[in-house]
Amino acid sequence: MSAPERFEELSAGLATGVRTREGLVGLVLLGSASDEARDRRDEWSDHDFFALTEAGRGAEIRPDLSWLPDQERLVLTAREGEIGFVAVYDDAHVLEFAFSDAAELAGARAVEATVVVDDDAGTTAELLAEARVRAADGDRFDPANDARLVLVKLLIGVGRTRRGELLNGNSFIRQWAVQHLVRAIRGRFAAASTSLRDANDPVRRFERDFPVWGAHMAASLDLPIEECAYELYRLARAVLEPGWDEFPSQAADVVAARLGWS
């Protein structure tokens, strides 16, 4: 069976499982699993979705995942927090989903999404409409603040590294500094971000919108930790600082001096 056929089979199986499991009332396929973004699917696409229970029954129903399709092919299921779940099949296809009632998903965000199953009250459609509003409201950047945070994360991360806390230092530099740098660039050059970007995760498809800077950042992550931090620092100044009065130049100088980069 081809990958597209397998994907569609699993989508249909999820819909059948939700419709036939007592207590489940809704299914929303998200991202590349949705009809809106089906053209973006490739061999690495997984199934992201919301599975909704009747009001107040989330905790009761969550232990039961027997409604997932192809039970005999599941090799792994795991929880991520209270309402988040993942499942992996024997062909390495991944399901990532929130499994709860609508109230428990009150803070959810969604952009590309398709309602596949709903109840007569339209609970799922209403949830999706609210999630889309939240995604639009939250899809904003504060590049000046993110630029400041890049410097803070690099300063702390290098300090932890020099103290011998390599795991924690790596986290500050390769994770947090990178995320804030991505956000700062997307906010500073908002017009360059295309519809390919992910409103919930600015790092997704960053290289598609900013290929040169994205490649530079990716290459920096392959360097030893302090070299990585220095390259991210240099990139932040080279990309963000010119012609932008809000860049924290004095703070950048202080960080460089403290770390011996000046």
- Tens-place pLDDT, residues 128-155: 998 888 877 766 789 999 999 999 999 9
Mean pLDDT of all residues in the chain?
91
Query: Does residue 86 register a pLDDT over 50?
Result: yes
Query: Does residue 229 register a pLDDT over 50?
Result: yes
Cβ 6 vs Cβ 91: under 8 Å: yes
Cβ 228 vs Cβ 220: under 8 Å: yes
Pairing of strands 94-100, 84-89: antiparallel
pLDDT in the model for residue 255? 97
In the numeric block, the tokens 């908002």 are attached to 190
| pTM to 2 decimal places | 0.75
Sheet holding 113-117, edge to edge: 74-80, 84-89, 94-100, 47-53, 24-30, 113-117
* Segment 42-67 mean pLDDT: 92
In the numeric block, the tokens 């598609």 are attached to 208
* Residue 98, H or E segment: strand 94-100
pLDDT in the model for residue 1? 43
199 falls in which pLDDT band (50, 70, 90)? Answer: low
Dihedral pair phi/psi, residue 243, rounded to 5°: 70, 15
Torsional sign, CA 9, 14, 19, 21: positive
